[in-house]
């Protein structure tokens, strides 16, 4: 694990490598993804079935075999352990309650001059949710993508998830039942993104595609962007923790590892201005690491991607956290709320000693789909906002238009747009 101290001569250089960790090199996979997209656009379901046979170890014969029936979902729900059903319901209710607070209202402003101006909010007609599958099937990802779409009022929601050997994770199916998903398909990767972006006989063309995925999914989302909207382009998961001597070193070590266990290329950053604490947390990490079921993944992540950063003081720690702009930022100090006004760039901020990042992954309420790799500088958590769009509303009356005419005509004339000018003039 890399340890960087503010006073070392190459600190800025090494820290800037961490801060610029985000760039994804899509050049290698892009030609492959381009040909997957081209095949789907040309041959629809037929291409989908062929691609699944190539990548997912089963051979659907036709588009209809890709559809997951609502019966399958119900059966999976019925077979689900009661404790898990209850957990899913709690998560659903809390995520729903949070996202309902994000609903943006349409508004109209009746101006003094008689004009009416406004902004109308409308849900998109159709949303497509991509949920990764295979070994790591995450029902929580389905909840986090579906609930904001449901809350936004999207009428038609499609879900695509890969079915390795034709099988879909039972808990994912159960979650589909709980959420009332009607249209779900056993399709993964770039194929799924292409099918939802352009439509096939089986899968409807959608307006917005959201959801996490590997480099193929990320590249496909970037390539279809503009023909549909997408939520963001997400890379490997990451955590940053600002901790001081008030924290429990063991707990923070576990939190850092909870990110490392996701992926060999996940990143965990500890920022502290207490060098003793840094050593203690490092030792705790190494000792807990050996006890994890996913030790191998977590160890690779810790060895290659983790960093302990010793800041000069609290103010410096905040500067560094903002420069890292991490996906998850825990502030494990007694005065965590004091930090919040100064945190500019982070996907989600977890305050205090009783807010481990995992609670946000499942059921705190806010979305767990968050900007990674420093993109919290400009991307936002997935939310209701991703499933709506705005239309401006303008209504002038004869008097208002007359008052504005001289200025409007002057500008149109200066830009050389005669018909624009004329369209005001003819109404005088």
Active site residues: 327-328
The per-residue DSSP string of 239-293 comes to: EEEEE-TTS-HHHHHHHHHHHHTT-TT-EEEEEES-HHHHHHHHHHHHHHHTT-T
Closer to a copy of itself at the Cβ: 3 or 404? 404
Dihedral sign computed on CA atoms, order 148, 151, 152, 156: positive
Q: Does 177 count as an annotated binding residue? A: no
Closer to a copy of itself at the Cβ: 36 or 52? 36
Question: What tokens appear for 232 in the block?
Answer: 């963001």
Closer to a copy of itself at the Cβ: 66 or 370? 370
Cβ 47 to a copy of itself shortest distance, Å: 19
Using alpha carbons only, give the angle 237, 385, 226 rounded to the nearest 5 degrees: 80
Residue 325 and residue 375: Cα distance in Å, rounded?
Answer: 7
Residue 138 and residue 172: Cα distance in Å, rounded?
Answer: 7
Strand partners, 267: 238
* Total residues found in the chain within this entry: 428
Closer to a copy of itself at the Cβ: 67 or 345? 345
Q: Does 237 count as an annotated binding residue? A: yes
Closer to a copy of itself at the Cβ: 52 or 140? 140
For 60, phi and psi rounded to 5 degrees? -65, 140
Nearest alpha-carbon partner for 22 in 372, 259, 308, 256: 372
Cβ 235 to a copy of itself shortest distance, Å: 9
Nearest alpha-carbon partner for 357 in 280, 283, 267: 267
Write down the number of H helices and E strands in the chain.
16, 15
Nearest alpha-carbon partner for 247 in 238, 239, 256: 256
Cβ 115 to a copy of itself shortest distance, Å: 7
Closer to a copy of itself at the Cβ: 208 or 324? 208
For 118, phi and psi rounded to 5 degrees? -165, -175
Q: Does 259 count as an annotated binding residue? A: yes
Residue 329 and residue 239: Cα distance in Å, rounded?
Answer: 6
Cβ 390 to a copy of itself shortest distance, Å: 4
Cβ 59 to a copy of itself shortest distance, Å: 28
Cβ 180 to a copy of itself shortest distance, Å: 19
* Annotated binding-site positions for substrate: 237, 259, 262, 328, 361, 415, 420
* Annotated binding-site positions: 237, 259, 262, 328, 361, 415, 420
* Annotated binding-site positions for Zn(2+): 259, 262, 361, 420
């Amino acid at each position: 694990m890399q340890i960087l101290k503010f006073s070392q001569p190459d600190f800025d250089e090494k820290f800037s490598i961490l801060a610029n960790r985000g760039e994804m090199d899509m050049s290698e996979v892009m030609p492959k993804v381009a040909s997957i997209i081209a095949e789907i656009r040309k041959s629809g379901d037929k291409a989908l079935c062929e691609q699944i046979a190539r990548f997912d170890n089963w051979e659907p014969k036709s588009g209809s075999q890709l559809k997951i029936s609502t019966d399958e979902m119900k059966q999976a729900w019925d077979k689900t352990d009661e404790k898990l059903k209850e957990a899913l319901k709690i998560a659903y209710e809390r995520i729903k309650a949070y996202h309902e607070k994000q609903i943006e209202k349409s508004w109209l402003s009746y101006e003094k001059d008689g004009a009416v101006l406004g902004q109308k909010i409308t849900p998109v007609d159709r949303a497509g949710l991509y949920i990764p599958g295979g070994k790591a099937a995450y029902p929580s990802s389905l909840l986090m993508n579906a609930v904001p779409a449901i809350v936004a009022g999207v009428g038609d929601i499609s879900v695509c998830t890969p079915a390795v050997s034709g099988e879909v994770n039972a808990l994912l199916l159960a979650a589909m039942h709980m959420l009332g998903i009607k249209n779900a398909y056993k399709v993964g990767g770039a194929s799924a993104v292409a099918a939802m972006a352009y439509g096939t006989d089986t899968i409807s063309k959608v307006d917005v595609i959201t959801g996490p995925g590997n480099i193929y999914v990320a590249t496909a989302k970037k390539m279809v962007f503009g023909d549909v909207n997408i939520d963001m382009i997400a890379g490997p998961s990451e955590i940053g923790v600002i901790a001081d001597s008030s924290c429990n070193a063991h707990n923070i070590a576990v939190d850092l590892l909870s990110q490392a266990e996701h992926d060999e290329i996940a990143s965990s950053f500890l920022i502290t201005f207490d060098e003793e604490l840094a050593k203690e947390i490092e030792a705790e990490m190494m000792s807990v690491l050996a006890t994890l079921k996913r030790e191998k993944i977590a160890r690779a992540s810790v060895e290659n991607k983790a960093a302990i950063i010793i800041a000069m003081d609290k103010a410096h720690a905040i500067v560094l956290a903002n420069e890292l702009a991490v996906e998850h930022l825990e502030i494990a100090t007694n005065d965590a709320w004091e930090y919040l006004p100064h945190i500019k760039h982070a996907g989600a901020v977890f305050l205090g000693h009783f807010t481990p990042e995992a609670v946000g992954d499942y059921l705190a309420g806010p979305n767990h789909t968050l900007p990674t790799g420093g993109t919290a500088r400009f991307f936002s958590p997935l939310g209701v906002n991703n499933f709506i769009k705005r239309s401006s509303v303008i209504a002038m009356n004869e008097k208002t238009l007359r008052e504005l005419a001289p200025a409007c005509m002057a500008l149109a004339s200066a830009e050389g747009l005669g018909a624009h000018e004329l369209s005001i003039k003819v109404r005088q």
